[in-house]
Structures are given as structure tokens and as C-alpha cells.
């Protein structure tokens, strides 16, 4: 019946079309059931989709793909989410008595690393490394300038000839003394320039060695910091798994905040103590170097029979110790970022001047004694500064100890609260109980055996005390009389042209000190360029004495009468600024991250809105196309549109019929609204 109905409908619809195409499908209805859809798309578009729906239902590959197993498999993942037994099983596995052992081992290892203060040490090492690298750059530029000056002075000194000087200046044979004085002047200028070059080379070498040492310390400290961070992350993950990402109790949250605050103050004091400890190490090295320089200089007077080359070699060795002491004193002041009470700018300038005129001071007995007095004075001033720094360190030791006690007490409370929370969690989940006091007593016993050593802060702060060695003092029974006891034959320079005075031979100017007397200093800072580096030969007895007066007398000052100690603002003020700057930097980074996230979300939102707008436009275009196709098929149906072309045809003929045509239109229009309001008026009273 269904098939016959469909055929009849096809015949009825095709009656309006020519008979030949309609008669062909009627003659072969049964065999052409499948052939009809082939001709259907050619003539009628609407009937074709109505006939094929029954056949596609039989093969129905697309509808079968829709109810295929994948869609039921997609809802299958929610059941495992609903059946969340694995997470609780994992939590139950973690919530075992072994958790306490793991927690205790993590605490022990974290406390052991925190005793060394790796984060504060890393900060201090980075500060020193940056400053040392900047110092190397400045000293290398100064070395290049001093080398060019020294080469010029050496050319003048090596090419000097007494006979040429006398003939060029028309000096008679009676003025030989003046020629010797001119030659001595050139030599002293060259020695002063050469002394500058040597001092700059020593400083650059020490700074490069310091950079190598700091890089090694930087790697070690970085490894310790990374290890500490990994242990802390592991501990935080353990606590998050135990308490589902939340605190065990409100008291734990409060105690942790208080502990972090106390710990930050403790770390601040420890950082200051490390800087002062490094200052003490550098100052103690400076004291030993200045003491050795004074003893070595005095040895020149004790052995008058040694040759001039040995005297110049000993003077060079004294100069190297003075340079090292000056660098360490400057390094000390840069570490604490304040001036020492017993070392002012005048002392610094006098020490630089002593280094620059050391070869002039060796020429006469008067200048020699004056230089010896100054060397002893430098050592005395450095020793006073060292005593003052030790007093400051003792004060910091007490403050750090008090801060450490408060931190340890607060941490004990926090640990006890955490263990209680773990105990309650275990009791709820596994009905397991344990004794907290036994675990607390065991950990306290371990802390007593291995306490938070203050020596790790003050004795091993920067590991510089290992390089502090007392310089060997000259032996009293030592009486060198030969040149071989001081220098090697290969180190002896050649004599330049010209006659030189007996006591001021330039030999020994290029002599290096033996390996056994090599300096062991590691720390150092850039030294100021000394004023008046060279002195004339004629003025060796008068001018240096005027520029540099006699050394002040040395007095013994007891510890009670030392300069007052710095205040807390002076000690911690700059550190607080540094911490504030670090916090501000972190805040700016967080703000930048938030801005970036907001911008990213805004871009994503714009993309979504644009895609949605494009999809809406596509839908509108499809609807418009459908509406346009409908009137094309229904063109013959509307009969009301027929009079419109009649009214349009008379319009272009003349302008007069336009008002004629317009007049009847409003009449018809008026009649229509007149009828409409009547209907409305009648409807209103009803």
C-alpha cells in the first residue's frame, strides 16, 4: 500500500509536466523503483528526498555509527572518576607509620642544610663576585695606562748618556755632579713608573685568583641551595598529600607564619654576621702582611753588608706586602659598607704614597727610618681596627644566638602541632595511634648531639680564614752576604747605558720574589692611584720628608676605650633596604605575570567572539539563501503582485497621471483604515 501511494503521488505531481516523461515511470513501476531516484534529481527536487528515506534506513551506516560503542565508552570515564578508590588507596598507603620516619628524616636533613645558611652565603658570594669583576675591569684599564707611561720612562732612562747630555746642554767637565743628578732623576722616574705597573699587575693577578675561587664557591653554594629547595618541596608535597592541600589546623597556619617571620629576622642577622666575619678575615690578613713588611724592611738595616740588588729585592717584597695589606683593608670596608674608626682616608693615602716612594726611602738612612716608623704605624692602626671588628662580631654573635633560640622554640611548637595533626589523621583513616613525645624526645636528642652550630656562621662564613697565614718573620741569626741567597742569576737584569750612582743601581727592578715567599692573599679590592709616585734624586732627602711627615706615635688602647660599636640601624639598615628591594622586585614580577595572563585571556576571548560572530554570519547567509530560493519557486502564486506592474507602467508615460493615480490610492487607503477602526471601536465596547 505504501508503494502504491507513493506512485500515485508521483503521478499526480507530474500531471502538470509533459506526458512523455510521466508515462515512462508509469509503464515500469516495479523495476524502476530504484531507477526513479536517478531521474528524480533531474526534474523534481522535492519528491526525491521523500522516496529515499526508506532505503537509507536499511543500510543505515551513518545512524549505526552514531550509536556505536564509542559514545557509551565516553561516558565510561566518569564511572572511574566516580569510583575514585585509587586516590584514597594511595592516601591510605601514605598514611602509615612510615610517614613519620619520612617526615623526621626530611626535617633532619633540612635542618642540617639550614645550619650552613646556603642561601645567605650564595647572596654574599654573588655580591663579592660582581664587585671583583668590576674591579678587574678598572684595574686592567689603569694597568694599560701605567704600562704606556713606564715604556716611555724606560726609553728615556735607557737612552740617557752623560756625555751627550753634557755636550747638548754645553756643560763643562766641572758639572759632572749635575749630569749624575739628571741621570738619577730619569732613573727614579722610571722606577716609580715601573713600581706602578708592578703594583697594578699584582692587584689584577690577585683579583683574577679571587674570581676563580668565588666561582668555585658559587657552584658549591648553588648545589646546596638546590638540594635544600628540593627537600623543602618534597616536605611540602608530603604535607599536602596528608592534609589534601590544606593546613592540618588553624594553629599550624598561625605557627608557620610566626616561624617564617622569626626566621627572616634571623637570616637577616646571619647575613650581616657573614659580612663582618669576612671583614675580620681580610683585616687579619692585612695585619699579618703589614707586620711582615715592617719586619722585612727592618731586616735591610740589620744586614748592611748585603749587595744593592738584594736591598732592592727586599724592598720589592716589602712593597708587595704593603699592596696586599692595602687591598685587604679596602675589601674589609667594602664588605661592611662603612668606614673603620681607626682607618681614615689620610691613612689610606699615606699607605699608597709609601708604596710609590719605597725605592726612594731605601737610599738614605733618614728616609729609611721614617718609612719603618710608618710601616709600624700602619700595622698598629690595622690591629686596632681588628679589635674593634671583633667586638662587633661578639655583639652580633649574641643577637644571632637569641634569634636562633626563638626560631628553634617556635619551630618546636610547629613540629609538635604537625605531628598531632598527623596522629589525628592516622587515627581517623587507619585507627593507628603513636606516641608523639617519644619522637619529639628523639629529635631533641639528635639536636643536642648536633646543635645549630654558630661556628658555621662565624668560622666558616666565606672560608677565607683558611687562607690566612701568619707571614714568616725573618730569623735573627740570618745573615745573608751573597746575592744567590736572595735572587737567582737568571733574574739579574742588564745594566743600562750610562754611569749610575753606587747605592742606587737599577738592578733588581725586574727581580721576582721566590716561590717560597709568594703571597697567599686571595681577597683584594682596587687600590687608589697614589699621588706623587716618583721623586727626584736630588729631592730624595728633602721632598719626601716634606710630603710625608714622621709617623704619629703608637699608643696602647685597651678594649674598653675603643670606638663605640655601630647601632642596629647602621648594621641592619642597608640589609633591610636590600630585602625591601627584593620584595618589590618579586611584586613587580607577580604583577607582570598577572598582566600577561589577563592579556592572554583577553586574546582568547576575542578569538572566541570572532569565531562566534563568523559562525553567526554563516548561519545568516544560509538563511538568506534559503529565503531567496523560496520566492523563485512561488513566483506564479502571488496574484496581488499583478496590479503592481500595471501601476508602474503608467508612471513613466506622463507626469499628470501621477496625481490621478495618487488620488484613487489614498481613497482606497482611507477606506481601509476607516473600516479597521470601526472594527476596533466595535470590539472595544464589547
Percent of the chain with pLDDT over 90: 5
Domain boundary among the residues 211, 246, 281 is at 246
**Does residue 596 lie within any of the structural domains?**
yes
CATH code (residue 148): 1.10.287
What DSSP designation does 460 have?
Answer: S
For the range 394-397, what are the long-range contacts, defined as Cβ-Cβ under 8 Å and sequence gap of 24 or more?
395/565, 396/269, 396/272, 396/273, 396/276, 396/571, 397/273, 397/454, 397/458
pLDDT at 49: 44
User: CB neighbours (10 Å) of residue 360?
Assistant: 23
Please count the CA atoms within 13 angstroms of the CA of 645 that sit on its side-chain side: 3
| pLDDT tens-digit map of 370-392 | 999 999 999 999 998 998 988 88
Please count the CA atoms within 13 angstroms of the CA of 148 that sit on its side-chain side: 5
**Does residue 322 lie within any of the structural domains?**
no
| pLDDT tens-digit map of 92-143 | 344 566 766 777 778 788 878 877 778 877 877 887 788 788 888 888 888 8
In the structure, what pLDDT confidence band is assigned to residue 166 with cuts at 50, 70 and 90? Answer: low
**Does residue 298 lie within any of the structural domains?**
no
Domain boundary among the residues 246, 271, 305 is at 246
The DSSP secondary structure of 436-447, one letter per residue, reads: HHHHHHHHHHHH
φ, ψ of residue 49 to 5 degrees: the values are -65, -25
Domain boundary among the residues 246, 272, 288 is at 246
**Does residue 282 lie within any of the structural domains?**
no
Domain count, the chain: 2
The CA distance from 380 to 372, in Å, is: 13
pLDDT at 379: 92
The CA distance from 253 to 143, in Å, is: 59
Residue scoring higher pLDDT (457 or 572): 572
Q: Is the pLDDT of residue 296 over 60?
A: yes
**Does residue 218 lie within any of the structural domains?**
yes
What DSSP designation does 498 have?
Answer: S
| Spatial contact of 366 and 374, defined as CB atoms under 8 Å apart | no
Positive/negative CA dihedral, 180, 183, 185, 190: negative
- Mean pLDDT calculated for residue range 630-641: 48
φ, ψ of residue 464 to 5 degrees: the values are -85, -20
HEC secondary structure over 489-513:
HHHCCCCCCCCCCCCCCCCCCCCCC
Torsion of CA 53, 56, 57, 62, to 10 degrees: -120
Torsion of CA 79, 85, 86, 87, to 10 degrees: 100
pLDDT at 220: 87
| Spatial contact of 437 and 256, defined as CB atoms under 8 Å apart | no
Three-class SS state of 459: coil
The CA distance from 175 to 196, in Å, is: 32
**Does residue 593 lie within any of the structural domains?**
yes
The domain of 157 spans 94-246
In the structure, what pLDDT confidence band is assigned to residue 542 with cuts at 50, 70 and 90? Answer: very low
**Does residue 482 lie within any of the structural domains?**
no
| Spatial contact of 211 and 133, defined as CB atoms under 8 Å apart | yes
**Does residue 678 lie within any of the structural domains?**
no
The CA distance from 16 to 353, in Å, is: 125
Q: Is the pLDDT of residue 482 over 50?
A: no
Q: Which single residue is written with the C-alpha cell 672560608?
A: 463
Residue scoring higher pLDDT (243 or 466): 243
| Spatial contact of 113 and 228, defined as CB atoms under 8 Å apart | yes
The CA distance from 582 to 580, in Å, is: 5
**Is 682 buried (19+), middle (13-18) or exposed (0-12) by CB count in 10 A?**
exposed
Element (H, E) at 174: none
Amino acid at each position: 500500500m505504501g508503494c502504491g501511494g507513493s506512485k500515485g503521488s508521483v503521478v499526480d505531481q507530474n500531471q502538470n509536466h509533459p506526458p512523455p516523461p510521466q508515462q515512462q515511470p508509469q509503464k515500469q513501476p516495479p523495476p524502476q523503483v530504484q531507477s526513479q531516484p536517478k531521474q528524480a534529481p533531474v526534474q523534481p527536487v522535492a519528491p526525491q528526498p521523500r522516496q529515499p528515506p526508506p532505503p537509507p534506513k536499511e543500510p543505515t551506516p551513518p545512524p549505526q555509527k552514531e550509536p556505536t560503542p564509542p559514545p557509551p565508552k565516553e561516558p565510561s570515564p566518569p564511572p572511574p572518576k566516580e569510583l575514585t578508590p585509587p586516590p584514597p588507596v594511595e592516601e591510605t598507603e601514605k598514611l602509615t607509620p612510615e610517614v613519620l620516619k619520612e617526615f623526621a628524616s626530611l626535617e633532619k636533613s633540612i635542618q642540617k642544610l639550614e645550619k650552613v645558611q646556603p642561601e645567605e652565603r650564595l647572596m654574599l658570594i654573588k655580591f663579592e663576585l660582581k664587585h671583583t669583576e668590576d674591579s678587574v675591569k678598572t684595574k686592567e684599564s689603569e694597568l694599560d695606562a701605567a704600562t704606556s707611561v713606564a715604556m716611555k720612562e724606560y726609553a728615556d732612562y735607557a737612552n740617557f748618556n752623560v756625555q751627550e747630555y753634557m755636550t747638548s746642554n754645553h756643560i763643562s767637565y766641572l758639572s759632572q755632579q749635575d749630569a749624575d743628578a739628571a741621570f738619577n732623576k730619569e732613573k727614579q722616574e722610571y722606577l716609580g713608573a715601573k713600581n706602578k705597573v708592578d703594583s697594578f699587575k699584582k692587584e689584577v693577578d690577585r683579583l683574577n685568583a679571587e674570581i676563580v675561587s668565588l666561582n668555585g664557591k658559587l657552584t658549591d653554594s648553588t648545589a646546596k641551595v638546590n638540594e635544600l629547595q628540593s627537600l623543602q618541596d618534597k616536605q611540602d608535597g608530603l604535607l599536602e598529600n596528608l592534609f589534601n592541600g590544606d593546613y592540618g589546623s588553624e594553629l599550624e597556619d598561625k605557627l608557620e607564619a610566626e616561624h617564617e617571620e622569626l626566621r627572616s629576622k634571623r637570616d637577616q642577622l646571619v647575613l650581616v654576621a657573614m659580612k663582618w666575619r669576612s671583614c675580620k678575615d681580610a683585616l687579619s690578613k692585612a695585619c699579618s702582611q703589614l707586620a711582615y713588611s715592617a719586619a722585612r724592611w727592618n731586616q735591610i738595616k740589620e744586614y748592611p753588608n748585603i749587595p744593592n740588588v738584594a736591598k732592592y729585592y727586599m724592598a720589592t717584597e716589602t712593597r708587595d706586602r704593603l699592596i696586599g695589606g692595602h687591598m685587604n683593608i679596602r675589601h674589609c670596608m667594602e664588605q661592611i659598607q662603612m668606614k673603620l674608626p681607626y682607618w681614615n682616608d689620610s691613612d689610606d693615602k699615606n699607605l699608597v704614597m709609601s708604596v710609590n716612594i719605597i725605592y726612594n726611602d731605601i737610599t738614605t738612612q733618614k728616609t729609611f727610618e721614617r718609612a719603618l716608623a710608618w710601616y709600624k704605624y700602619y700595622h698598629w692602626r690595622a690591629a686596632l681596627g681588628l679589635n674593634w671588628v671583633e667586638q662587633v662580631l661578639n655583639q652580633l654573635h649574641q643577637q644571632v644566638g637569641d634569634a636562633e633560640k626563638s626560631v628553634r622554640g617556635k619551630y618546636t611548637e610547629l613540629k609538635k602541632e604537625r605531628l598531632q595533626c598527623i596522629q589525628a589523621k592516622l587515627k581517623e583513616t587507619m585507627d593507628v595511634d603513636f606516641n608523639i613525645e617519644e619522637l619529639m624526645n628523639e629529635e631533641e636528642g639528635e639536636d643536642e648531639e648536633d646543635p645549630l652550630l654558630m661556628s658555621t656562621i662565624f668560622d666558616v662564613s666565606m672560608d677565607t680564614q683558611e687562607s690566612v697565614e701568619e707571614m714568616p718573620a725573618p730569623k735573627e741569626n740570618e745573615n745573608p752576604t751573597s746575592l744567590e741567597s736572595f735572587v737567582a742569576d737568571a733574574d739579574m737584569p742588564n745594566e743600562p747605558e750610562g754611569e749610575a750612582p753606587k747605592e742606587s743601581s737599577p738592578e733588581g727592578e725586574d727581580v721576582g720574589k721566590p716561590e717560597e715567599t709568594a703571597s697567599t692573599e686571595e681577597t683584594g679590592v682596587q687600590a687608589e692611584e697614589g699621588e706623587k709616585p716618583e721623586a727626584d734624586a736630588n729631592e730624595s732627602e728633602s721632598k719626601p720628608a716634606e710630603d710625608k711627615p714622621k709617623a704619629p706615635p703608637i699608643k696602647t688602647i685597651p678594649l674598653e676605650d675603643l670606638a663605640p660599636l655601630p647601632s642596629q640601624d647602621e648594621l641592619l639598615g642597608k640589609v633591610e633596604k636590600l630585602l625591601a628591594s627584593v620584595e618589590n622586585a618579586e611584586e613587580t614580577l607577580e604583577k607582570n605575570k598577572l598582566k600577561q595572563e589577563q592579556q592572554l585571556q583577553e586574546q582568547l576571548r576575542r578569538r572566541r567572539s570572532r569565531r562566534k560572530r563568523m559562525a553567526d554570519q554563516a548561519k545568516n547567509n544560509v538563511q538568506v539563501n534559503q529565503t531567496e530560493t523560496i520566492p523563485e519557486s512561488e513566483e506564479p502564486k502571488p496574484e496581488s503582485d499583478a496590479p503592481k506592474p500595471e501601476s508602474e507602467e503608467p508612471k513613466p508615460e506622463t507626469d499628470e497621471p501621477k496625481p490621478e493615480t495618487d488620488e484613487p490610492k489614498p481613497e482606497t487607503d482611507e477606506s481601509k483604515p476607516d473600516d479597521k477602526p470601526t472594527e476596533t471601536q466595535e470590539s472595544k465596547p464589547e
